Amino acid sequence: MKKVTTQSLVGKLILTATILASGMAFLDSTVVNIAIPTIQTKLNATITGIQWIVNGYTLMLSSLILISGALGDRFGRKRVFSIGIGVFITTSFLCSIAQTITQLEIFRALQGIGGAMMVPGSLSIINIAFEEKVRGRAIGLWSGFAGGVAALGPLVGGWLVQTLGWPAIFYINIPLGLIALLITAKYVPETRNHESTKIDLMGTILIFLSLLGVCYGLISVSDLGWGNPAIIASLVIGVLAFISFIIVEKKVKEPLVPFGIFKSSLVTGANLATLFLYFALSGVIFFLVLNFQQVQHYSPIFAGLGMLPTVLLITFLSGTGGTIADKIGPRLPMILGPLIVSVGMASLILPGKNANYFIQFLPGLVLFGLGMSLVIAPLTKSALAVDEKYSGAASGVNNAVARVAGLLAVALLGVIVLSVFKADLAKKIDTSVMQPSQKQAIMVQQNKLGGIEMPANFTPEAKMTAQTDVEDSFIHGFRWAMAINALLAFTSAVISFFTIKNKK
């Protein structure tokens, strides 16, 4: 097929379709994060429940992205991409009519299937359609403007939650998806790898079982405890399934993960850097939104506005970051970007209760956005530096790594934050002047984290004491999460330093 540029009409339309589709997936993440505290209250959910709202979606996205890339390579990237958009629109409507936390978790998981078909498809289409010399800019524009669609999430999502209720956040996907479908049908060319003949179903099943086992074990440990047989079995099954996945992938003719692509230190380094950086990214977003609404007591609209600077910087500077990387190579941006992100995350350790947003949160969020805008395009382009026939697989691998990172972040950091929170809260409540029955009424809700509700029969003094203890304990756990995330972002920079080399 004839390659296009970012300046041509067809190139702009291809970018528009891929940006809208991917933007829906990114938008959904930002909107749902803003709505999480409200959903927790309205559906009376524990931290485990809200973790599954995020991770049910991410689990399906992570485990099916790999096979979706392979399906696109074999049956047509445009076809699989279009089906994914249709699934995403349909399941978004189902999410909006969910009546219980369980229903919402199920529909979110189904929504992840659509997302798994859209996101790698969009990257693969860009990687095939655009000329090499402008591919970095195209990826940067895709990252930035898809993030721009996501930028609607904090503001529009906050407004919808506050005025129409949380179900309305899922309506946004419907018009965006329909526009993307129409453009795709008319302007996106169909491409496929004609050498592809088989689909690795066994690999798909094993990676799904692996992620499900680990995710279930980590999320459910707060309810069941580490010694529970179900937790032990789940984690063991997850690890064994992952080992089996690697063995199977090395033996099958057309694996989900063609290990040959990792002979390149550029591809290997980019995927490792993605794992650590996106773990940190997901961890910050999940817990910062809870902090804004449950501790700082921002409304959903203001919580959304609080996240907006980071999203806007990524939106408008990622294209520039891609252009810079095209000119000087990926090495320097992939080292400096995560370092700047790490400093921004580390600064989020400092704010306590009643923090001044502009002084204590905004500087860190600005650094966060600047660092990500510098690294996103070269990171993605480096991960796709493979033979064109493996474009779909490489795209799927890199997207899967990013989503697995988010999956592990919410699950693992949830365990750490909740453990720190519960231990600190128990000490504070035990030494408080509240009555034993009042202490019990608070501690029985400890798995709600910052969403603990003050019983109506509490005296004003008891409510104030309990609320203060809950918020202080949340901040204690939150600081642990931010420190871990800052360390992981720094690790991403170290990995880039040792593995990413510019082409000579």
Q: How far is CA 266 from CA 206, 270, 329, 470, 493, in A?
A: 27, 6, 11, 46, 14
Q: What is the pLDDT along the chain (504 residues), one digit of tens a residue?
A: 677 676 678 778 888 888 888 878 777 766 787 888 889 888 888 888 888 898 888 888 878 877 877 788 778 888 899 999 999 999 999 999 999 899 999 999 999 899 888 877 787 788 787 877 777 778 778 766 765 666 566 777 788 888 888 888 888 888 888 999 998 888 887 877 766 657 788 988 998 899 889 988 988 887 788 889 999 999 999 999 999 999 998 888 878 788 888 888 889 999 999 999 999 998 998 899 899 999 999 998 898 889 888 878 887 888 788 889 888 889 999 999 999 999 999 999 999 999 999 999 999 999 999 999 999 889 988 888 887 677 767 877 887 788 889 888 988 998 999 999 999 999 999 988 888 999 999 999 888 888 898 988 899 999 999 999 999 999 999 999 999 999 999 999 999 999 988 764
| Residue at 64: amino acid letter | L
Could you report how far apart the first and last alpha carbons of the chain are, in Å?
28
- Evaluate whether 131 touches 8 at the Cβ level (below 8 Å): no
SS3 content of the chain, % helix, strand, coil (to 5): 85, 0, 15
Per DSSP, the residues of 480-498 read: HHHHHHHHHHHHHHHHHHH
Neighbours of 317 (CB within 10 A): 21
- Identify the residue whose tokens are 């591919």: 135
Q: Which tokens belong to 359?
A: 């002084």
Closest among 140, 109, 146 to 25, alpha carbons compared: 146
Q: Which tokens belong to 65?
A: 């992205």
- Evaluate whether 451 touches 294 at the Cβ level (below 8 Å): yes
- Evaluate whether 6 touches 141 at the Cβ level (below 8 Å): yes
Measure CA 167 to chain center: 20
SS (H, E, C) 219-251: HHHHHHCCCCHHHHHHHHHHHHHHHHHHHHHHH
Per DSSP, the residues of 274-288 read: HHHHHHHHHHHHHHH
Closest among 129, 106, 489, 150 to 315, alpha carbons compared: 150
In angstroms, the CA 152 to CA 467 distance is 32
The region, left, alpha or beta by phi > 0 then psi within -120 to 50, assigned to residue 459 is beta
In angstroms, the CA 283 to CA 406 distance is 7
Q: Looking at residue 259, what DSSP letter applies?
A: G
| Residue at 277: amino acid letter | L
What is the model's pTM?
A: 0.81
Per DSSP, the residues of 94-129 read: HHHT--SHHHHHHHHHHHHHHHHHHHHHHHHHHHHH
In angstroms, the CA 390 to CA 195 distance is 10
